[in-house]
Amino acid sequence: MSSIDLPVPVQRFDRPIVLVGLMGVGKTTVGRRLARRLGWPFRDADHEIEASAGRSVSEIFADFGETAFRDGERKVIARLLETGEPMVLALGGGAFVSEETREVVKANALSVWLRADLDTLMERVSRRNTRPLLKTENPRAVMERLMQERAAFYSEADLAVDTGDGSHGRTVIAIIDALAHHLTQETSS
Ligand SMILES: Nc1ncnc2c1ncn2[C@@H]1O[C@H](COP(=O)(O)OP(=O)(O)OP(=O)(O)O)[C@@H](O)[C@H]1O
Ligand SMILES: O=C(O)C1=C[C@@H](O)[C@@H](O)[C@H](O)C1
Ligand SMILES: [Mg+2]
């Protein structure tokens, strides 16, 4: 499929698209596919921090602490979005909690909150043991708490898309449909 098959408002859209949401919801894997579908570059805030620190996210948490990770996260996201280049950018799960990051995203990009229920999230995060916040006795309780604490921040995103229990491909289509709808409403208002 080429970009010509995309809805016209989406073909014309040229601002960065930022994916937000909880760990395991699909920001990285869906974001990469969405970028491919749009013919745009894909960036992932976690991967950018890892590349600049020369360490994994878990190692950064262990060696420098969460506060240092959050500082680096804010800087990386601001630097990526300052360029104004069209890209799909997957944020780390906690990045949108920062007011500074929410402001940078609002000024430079369109944001999409990817959602899933607790059971789906726990099933998805169980596939890889790379998330320092979930290396605890009761990761489900941590996820449930983060879900409650962060909902108000995520709800500031421009769009919300349920990832359901379907495939990555279906989520990409749902994002493109929601974007087309949003852009059509924006131009008619
Ligand atoms: N829509 C989907 N349907 C089915 N499986 C999915 C879907 N989205 C993501 N997954 C799977 O869930 C797992 C977690 O996805 P991913 O790593 O993209 O999450 P993330 O939001 O980037 O998490 P983190 O915030 O920890 O980086 C992966 O195994 C991925 O293949
Ligand atoms: O939800 C979070 O706070 C996190 C999500 C991941 O993407 C990483 O940024 C890190 O593991 C922290
Ligand atoms: Mg990710």
Q: For ligand 2, atom 9, which residue shows the shortest CA distance? A: 92
* Cα dist from 75 to 49, 61, 98, 165, whole Å: 9, 16, 11, 34
Identity of residue 1? M
Residue of 19, 22, 23, 29 to mutate, ligand 1, most atoms within 8 A of C-beta: 29
Q: Is residue 54 part of a domain?
A: yes
Q: Examine residue 186 and state whether it is found in any structural domain, yes or no.
A: no
Q: 45 in a domain, yes or no?
A: yes
Q: Is residue 131 part of a domain?
A: yes
184 part of a folded domain: no
Strand partners, 42: 88
Q: Measure the CA–CA gap between 4 and 50, rounded to whole angstroms.
A: 35
Q: pLDDT (tens digit, 9 = 90+) per residue, 76-103?
A: 999 999 999 999 999 999 999 999 999 9
> Can you give the CATH number for the domain in which 94 is found?
3.40.50.300
165 in any annotated domain? yes
List pLDDT tens digits, range 15-51: 999 999 999 999 999 999 999 999 999 999 999 999 9
**pLDDT tens track for 131-170:** 999 999 999 999 999 999 999 999 999 999 999 877 999 9
Number of structural domains in the chain: 1
Could you list the residue range(s) of the whole structural domain that residue 20 is in?
10-178
3 located within any domain: no
